[in-house]
A and B are shown apart, each in its own frame.
Chain A
Amino acid sequence: DAGVIQSPRHEVTEMGQEVTLRCKPISGHNSLFWYRQTMMRGLELLIYFNNNVPIDDSGMPEDRFSAKMPNASFSTLKIQPSEPRDSAVYFCASRTGLNTEAFFGQGTRLTVV
Protein backbone atom coordinates (compact mmCIF):
# COMPACT_ATOMS: atom_id res chain seq x y z
CA ASP A 1 0.00 0.00 0.00
CA ALA A 2 1.23 3.51 -0.80
CA GLY A 3 0.18 4.86 2.58
CA VAL A 4 -2.15 7.78 3.19
CA ILE A 5 -2.17 10.04 0.15
CA GLN A 6 -2.97 13.73 0.38
CA SER A 7 -3.30 16.28 -2.38
CA PRO A 8 -2.24 18.85 -3.16
CA ARG A 9 1.08 19.02 -1.25
CA HIS A 10 1.09 22.79 -1.45
CA GLU A 11 -1.71 25.26 -2.04
CA VAL A 12 -1.48 29.04 -2.28
CA THR A 13 -4.75 30.86 -2.62
CA GLU A 14 -6.20 34.30 -2.20
CA MET A 15 -8.40 35.26 0.71
CA GLY A 16 -12.04 34.53 -0.03
CA GLN A 17 -11.39 31.62 -2.38
CA GLU A 18 -12.64 28.10 -1.81
CA VAL A 19 -10.02 25.49 -0.95
CA THR A 20 -10.50 21.72 -1.14
CA LEU A 21 -8.01 19.31 0.40
CA ARG A 22 -8.15 15.63 -0.48
CA CYS A 23 -7.20 12.44 1.30
CA LYS A 24 -7.06 8.77 0.36
CA PRO A 25 -6.71 6.59 3.47
CA ILE A 26 -5.00 3.23 3.63
CA SER A 27 -7.25 0.47 2.30
CA GLY A 28 -8.97 -1.39 5.13
CA HIS A 29 -8.61 1.43 7.65
CA ASN A 30 -12.02 2.39 8.95
CA SER A 31 -11.06 5.51 10.91
CA LEU A 32 -9.98 8.77 9.28
CA PHE A 33 -8.78 11.94 10.99
CA TRP A 34 -8.18 15.51 9.79
CA TYR A 35 -5.67 17.64 11.69
CA ARG A 36 -4.33 21.18 11.41
CA GLN A 37 -0.78 21.99 12.55
CA THR A 38 0.63 25.43 13.33
CA MET A 39 3.54 26.56 15.46
CA MET A 40 1.20 28.40 17.81
CA ARG A 41 -1.49 25.75 18.33
CA GLY A 42 0.32 22.50 17.57
CA LEU A 43 -1.52 19.54 16.04
CA GLU A 44 -5.26 20.08 16.42
CA LEU A 45 -7.88 17.42 15.72
CA LEU A 46 -10.51 18.93 13.44
CA ILE A 47 -12.82 15.98 12.74
CA TYR A 48 -12.77 12.20 12.60
CA PHE A 49 -14.83 9.57 10.82
CA ASN A 50 -15.57 5.95 11.68
CA ASN A 51 -16.78 3.83 8.76
CA ASN A 52 -17.31 6.99 6.68
CA VAL A 53 -19.56 8.58 9.33
CA PRO A 54 -18.47 11.83 11.03
CA ILE A 55 -18.25 11.10 14.75
CA ASP A 56 -16.89 14.30 16.27
CA ASP A 57 -16.48 17.60 14.45
CA SER A 58 -16.14 19.73 17.58
CA GLY A 59 -12.62 20.70 16.51
CA MET A 60 -13.76 22.33 13.28
CA PRO A 61 -13.02 25.99 13.91
CA GLU A 62 -15.95 27.61 12.09
CA ASP A 63 -18.78 27.03 9.67
CA ARG A 64 -16.36 27.91 6.90
CA PHE A 65 -14.85 24.45 7.39
CA SER A 66 -16.60 21.29 6.21
CA ALA A 67 -15.50 17.69 5.71
CA LYS A 68 -17.01 14.77 3.85
CA MET A 69 -16.24 11.11 3.40
CA PRO A 70 -18.43 9.82 0.57
CA ASN A 71 -16.80 6.38 0.59
CA ALA A 72 -14.12 4.38 2.38
CA SER A 73 -11.35 5.48 0.06
CA PHE A 74 -11.82 9.25 -0.14
CA SER A 75 -12.32 12.28 2.08
CA THR A 76 -12.27 16.04 1.54
CA LEU A 77 -11.79 19.04 3.78
CA LYS A 78 -13.20 22.23 2.36
CA ILE A 79 -12.68 25.82 3.48
CA GLN A 80 -15.06 28.40 2.04
CA PRO A 81 -14.25 31.27 2.13
CA SER A 82 -10.59 30.96 3.09
CA GLU A 83 -8.86 33.49 5.34
CA PRO A 84 -5.16 34.21 6.02
CA ARG A 85 -5.49 32.71 9.54
CA ASP A 86 -6.32 29.37 7.92
CA SER A 87 -2.72 29.11 6.74
CA ALA A 88 -1.29 25.90 8.22
CA VAL A 89 -0.28 22.36 7.38
CA TYR A 90 -3.30 20.08 7.17
CA PHE A 91 -2.79 16.37 7.82
CA CYS A 92 -5.00 13.41 7.16
CA ALA A 93 -4.46 10.15 9.07
CA SER A 94 -6.10 6.73 9.11
CA ARG A 95 -6.06 3.68 11.34
CA THR A 96 -7.88 0.39 11.82
CA GLY A 97 -9.33 1.09 15.25
CA LEU A 98 -8.92 2.02 18.89
CA ASN A 99 -5.34 1.99 20.22
CA THR A 100 -3.85 1.15 16.82
CA GLU A 101 -1.23 3.11 14.95
CA ALA A 102 -2.38 6.21 13.09
CA PHE A 103 -0.70 6.56 9.71
CA PHE A 104 -0.30 10.10 8.44
CA GLY A 105 -0.12 11.54 4.98
CA GLN A 106 2.60 14.02 4.09
CA GLY A 107 0.27 16.94 4.65
CA THR A 108 -0.97 19.88 2.60
CA ARG A 109 0.74 23.18 3.26
CA LEU A 110 -1.93 25.85 2.79
CA THR A 111 -1.06 29.51 2.43
CA VAL A 112 -3.87 32.04 2.18
CA VAL A 113 -2.72 35.50 1.07
Chain B
Amino acid sequence: TQLLEQSPQFLSIQEGENLTVYCNSSSVFSSLQWYRQEPGEGPVLLVTVVTGGEVKKLKRLTFQFGDARKDSSLHITAAQPGDTGLYLCAGGKDGANNLFFGTGTRLTVIP
Protein backbone atom coordinates (compact mmCIF):
# COMPACT_ATOMS: atom_id res chain seq x y z
CA THR B 1 0.00 0.00 0.00
CA GLN B 2 1.44 3.32 -1.10
CA LEU B 3 1.15 6.14 1.40
CA LEU B 4 1.61 8.75 -1.32
CA GLU B 5 -0.24 8.54 -4.63
CA GLN B 6 0.90 10.69 -7.51
CA SER B 7 -1.00 11.68 -10.63
CA PRO B 8 -0.65 11.51 -13.47
CA GLN B 9 1.62 8.49 -13.67
CA PHE B 10 2.89 9.47 -17.13
CA LEU B 11 2.86 12.85 -18.84
CA SER B 12 4.11 13.74 -22.30
CA ILE B 13 3.90 17.37 -23.36
CA GLN B 14 5.32 19.81 -25.89
CA GLU B 15 8.04 22.26 -24.99
CA GLY B 16 6.53 25.49 -23.68
CA GLU B 17 3.41 23.96 -22.17
CA ASN B 18 2.49 24.16 -18.50
CA LEU B 19 1.78 21.15 -16.29
CA THR B 20 0.82 20.20 -12.75
CA VAL B 21 1.69 17.02 -10.87
CA TYR B 22 -0.25 15.99 -7.76
CA CYS B 23 0.78 14.08 -4.67
CA ASN B 24 -2.01 12.89 -2.37
CA SER B 25 -2.27 10.94 0.86
CA SER B 26 -4.73 10.21 3.64
CA SER B 27 -1.90 10.70 6.16
CA VAL B 28 -0.56 13.91 7.63
CA PHE B 29 3.12 14.59 6.98
CA SER B 30 5.48 16.75 8.98
CA SER B 31 7.10 17.79 5.72
CA LEU B 32 6.89 17.01 2.03
CA GLN B 33 9.80 16.83 -0.35
CA TRP B 34 9.99 16.70 -4.14
CA TYR B 35 12.81 14.88 -5.92
CA ARG B 36 13.71 14.41 -9.57
CA GLN B 37 15.39 11.27 -10.83
CA GLU B 38 17.17 10.82 -14.14
CA PRO B 39 18.01 7.45 -15.73
CA GLY B 40 20.85 5.62 -14.02
CA GLU B 41 20.96 8.01 -11.09
CA GLY B 42 19.43 8.34 -7.66
CA PRO B 43 16.75 10.94 -6.89
CA VAL B 44 17.92 14.50 -6.25
CA LEU B 45 16.09 16.93 -3.98
CA LEU B 46 14.25 19.86 -5.55
CA VAL B 47 12.48 21.36 -2.52
CA THR B 48 11.22 20.77 1.03
CA VAL B 49 7.94 22.26 2.29
CA VAL B 50 7.08 22.08 5.98
CA THR B 51 4.17 24.43 6.68
CA GLY B 52 0.57 23.82 5.64
CA GLY B 53 -0.31 26.12 2.74
CA GLU B 54 3.33 26.89 2.04
CA VAL B 55 4.28 27.84 -1.53
CA LYS B 56 7.86 27.72 -2.80
CA LYS B 57 9.17 28.74 -6.19
CA LEU B 58 12.29 27.44 -7.90
CA LYS B 59 12.65 29.26 -11.23
CA ARG B 60 9.84 27.82 -13.39
CA LEU B 61 8.77 25.30 -10.72
CA THR B 62 6.14 26.12 -8.08
CA PHE B 63 5.53 23.79 -5.14
CA GLN B 64 2.58 23.93 -2.78
CA PHE B 65 1.90 22.05 0.44
CA GLY B 66 -1.77 21.51 1.24
CA ASP B 67 -3.33 23.31 4.21
CA ALA B 68 -3.92 19.99 5.99
CA ARG B 69 -0.40 18.75 5.13
CA LYS B 70 -1.80 15.70 3.35
CA ASP B 71 -1.15 16.69 -0.24
CA SER B 72 1.16 18.69 -2.46
CA SER B 73 1.44 19.88 -6.04
CA LEU B 74 4.24 20.73 -8.42
CA HIS B 75 3.53 23.16 -11.24
CA ILE B 76 5.98 23.69 -14.10
CA THR B 77 5.61 26.73 -16.33
CA ALA B 78 6.87 26.66 -19.91
CA ALA B 79 8.34 23.18 -19.70
CA GLN B 80 11.74 22.56 -21.27
CA PRO B 81 13.27 19.29 -22.55
CA GLY B 82 15.67 19.47 -19.60
CA ASP B 83 12.68 19.01 -17.27
CA THR B 84 12.28 15.45 -18.53
CA GLY B 85 12.58 12.92 -15.72
CA LEU B 86 10.83 11.03 -12.94
CA TYR B 87 9.32 13.32 -10.31
CA LEU B 88 8.83 11.87 -6.86
CA CYS B 89 7.18 13.30 -3.78
CA ALA B 90 8.34 12.03 -0.39
CA GLY B 91 7.34 12.44 3.22
CA GLY B 92 7.95 11.18 6.70
CA LYS B 93 4.99 9.58 8.49
CA ASP B 94 3.95 10.34 12.03
CA GLY B 95 6.79 12.78 12.51
CA ALA B 96 9.35 9.99 12.39
CA ASN B 97 12.58 10.13 10.42
CA ASN B 98 11.33 7.61 7.86
CA LEU B 99 11.01 8.78 4.26
CA PHE B 100 8.40 7.23 2.01
CA PHE B 101 8.25 8.00 -1.68
CA GLY B 102 5.24 8.46 -3.90
CA THR B 103 4.36 6.37 -6.93
CA GLY B 104 6.13 8.82 -9.27
CA THR B 105 5.27 10.86 -12.36
CA ARG B 106 7.33 10.24 -15.45
CA LEU B 107 7.49 13.48 -17.46
CA THR B 108 8.64 13.73 -21.07
CA VAL B 109 8.99 17.16 -22.66
CA ILE B 110 9.13 16.98 -26.44
CA PRO B 111 11.21 19.65 -28.22
Contacts and interface: CB of A to CB of B under 8 A. Distances in A.
Given A45-B99, A48-B97, A99 B48 contact: yes
A45 B100 contact: yes
Contacts of B92: 98-99
Contacts of B44: 104
Interface in A3-24: 4
B30 interface: yes
Interface residues of A, number: 26
Contacts of A44: 101
Contacts of B2: 42
| Interface-centre pick from B42, B48, B100 (highest chain A CB count, 10 A) | B42
A42 to B, nearest CB: 5
Nearest to B45: A101
Q: Is the interface of A mostly helix, strand, loop or mixed?
A: strand
A93 interface: yes
Nearest to B103: A42
Contacts of B90: 102
Interface of B: 2, 30-31, 33, 35, 40-45, 48, 50, 88, 90, 92, 95-104
9 contacts: A31-B97, A42-B2, A43-B43, A97-B97, A98-B97, A99-B31, A102-B90, A105-B42, A106-B42
Interface of A: 4, 31, 33, 35, 42-45, 48, 50, 55-56, 91, 93, 95, 97-107
